[in-house]
Structure 1
């Protein structure tokens, strides 16, 4: 018996094909951007920033760039798809299908996760040549990559529902997603921060995603990975419930 409906599979395929048809823009460009970050920050800060014991700054930076790419592109996929569908008026064809709210939510998030993971893997492939990376706990790498992609895919869905035009979506990304990402420890260990900013960093859920992901490579982290995975999982549940509620209510979807 097939428990996955044809409509659900079709929506996942459509959302995945959407970004893959313009892979130069949606996959290759983010990989190039991450490569530039590595070349610039790795060259300038190598030997000047204290990170983990026996870990070079370049090696420390690579997992952060990989996870940052996963997060940003997962968000971009679901948010841009939804806002484009709303503006062009074809979102109604998705809403009129017999798909449940859970299926619509899952389809958008799964497609966003696919893009995020594909870009993240591409970033890893092109940057791994610049430093020696170990894989101390590969399961944690997979767990945090999937959780991070799911969270940002869900946030992208929420942003796409909330925004009524591209300017609003850009504001959501520039004033929320970007600061949370860059202040999450991508380029530094939070223990190098003053006490005030150290406390602020512990309030940032993005920090736990990146810190847990980095633990999978080095077996070292700023926070116990069990604590990180608990916080990240709880954050995902809250966001998923919010997204489902918005879909069910038709907020800014039905006019």
Structure 2
């Protein structure tokens, strides 16, 4: 019997795993990853009044109030009106907040309702769960950002001098916040904790990221505090893509944005891999 098996080509020999009723999983499972990604996208797309329209209305109110009150009094970049200056900041602020909300709310809802068991029992590895949820957060961030851009173009001319920088900072910012949302969703055990995380950390940091002002206009201590806020670099680099001008070097902003993404991604993956607050 041993001699006969040696004469059979290796490709025709039975797979030991298949004899046990299962096959070894491939290095990366595309189908379940795509399924989870699609589920996450459909989850926010089906409540678009809350996830897309609500940030759009909020941004419109910011534009009306600040544009009317300060539009004719403040000029930061030569040839750029104040209302045009704040549009990229409002876009990125909404991108960051919505990317965080997408992954964090999905995880906390799944944990509270018990639906997380279906993800844990699926053939998804931590890397695949991370990629699906982060990619869905990026899609939501881009969708909100595009909606705000189209709205702004109805009222003013907005240049787009460096589309590559706009895209790269959008992906890094939304991806980093999507990963941070995974961290918050895993850590939180109830909705109040997610709300606190967003209201006391994410909201202040995004508002104080140079959305409505140039950090060059701040006094010394406040300017130094802005420099330790990673969201400031994301907003500043994103704004450079529109106007070709920014408070700092775009390469410095890129380095900080990339570091923020990598640190958030590493933390999210590590918690997923360890089953933090997912397994009994």
Q: Given the alignment, which residue of 152, 158, 166 partners 1:141?
A: 166
Q: TM-score, normalised by structure 1?
A: 0.97
- 1:92 aligns with 117
2:74 is paired with a residue of what secondary structure? coil
**Counterparts of 1:146 and 1:154, CA distance in 2:** 12
TM-aligned CA deviation for residue 237 of structure 1 = 0.7
Shift of 1:197: 0.4
Does the alignment pair 1:17 with 2:42? yes
* Residue of 234, 237, 241 corresponding to 1:209: 234
Task: Choose which of 160, 163, 170 in structure 1 pairs with 2:195.
Answer: 170
- Give a deviation string over 1:204-244, Cα, whole Å, max 9, x none: 00001100000001000001011111111011111111111
- Gap regions ≥5 residues in structure 2: 1-25
> How many residues end up aligned between the 2 structures?
255
Q: CA RMSD in A?
A: 1.4
Equivalent of residue 193 in structure 1, options 214, 218, 230: 218
Aligned 1:1-255 pairs, distance under 5 A: 5-255=30-280
Structure 1 residue 19 displacement after superposition = 0.6
Give the TM-score, by structure 2 length.
Answer: 0.88
Partners in 2 of 1:79 and 1:45 — Cα distance?
Answer: 35
Greater mean alpha carbon deviation, residues 17-26 or residues 80-89? 17-26
Cα distance per residue 1:164-216 (max 9 Å; x no partner): 00110111001110010000001111111111100110100000110000000
- Which has the higher Rg, Structure 1 or Structure 2? 2
Secondary structure class of the residue paired with 1:130: coil
Rounded Cα–Cα distance in structure 2 between residues aligned with 1:2 and 1:63: 40
